[in-house]
Structure 1
Amino acid sequence: MDTEVKPSSRKGKSNYSRQFKRRLGVAACEPGVSVSKLALAHQVNANMAFKRRRDLRAGLLDDAAPAPAALLPVVLAEPLAAARGEQGKRKK
């Protein structure tokens, strides 16, 4: 597995492809694998390898694009007192 790094606009920050993140997460989930040794072999920080494993288990690295947020319609109703008209007023 080759480390795929894209150039970044911020100094010191690497951008890894989604496929690389997923492959690293899958490899970190294999039984008996040392995540620290895996990270060392791919020249990434061990914390990043553990994070990719967590992300994979949480379903954040699935190949499918995340579903867009659904928007719900909003209906504005008249205030209750205005709808009642004169009936809502108390007599003194």
Structure 2
Amino acid sequence: MIMRRSINDRLMLAERAVISAEGIDECSSCKNLIYSNHGDNDYDTNAFPGIAGALAKAVNLHGDASAWAKVQHEIWRVSRAITNIALVLKGDFTVQGL
């Protein structure tokens, strides 16, 4: 029973690690950094929506440095979330860490 509780707690913390309180610029209601609904289609998903949106804007702006800085920031947010997930699943990350 204790082992099951520990696993459930880790999974809950892993899910929290990919949720962004401020959301994603392209979709204010989207909070998950890993996936979200794609546009108006509730059945299609968009992987890494923050990165995809920032990358699309940077390409459309033809080399605007601030747009590429936003792409780097979105990549950093996702890499931080993945690192936190790894720590949670190893048991090295606690509720206080989130």
Q: Give the TM-score, by structure 1 length.
A: 0.29
Q: RCO higher in 1 or 2 (8 Å CA, sep ≥ 6)?
A: 2
More strand by share: 2
Q: Give the TM-score, by structure 2 length.
A: 0.27
The structure that has the greater radius of gyration is 1
More helix by share: 2
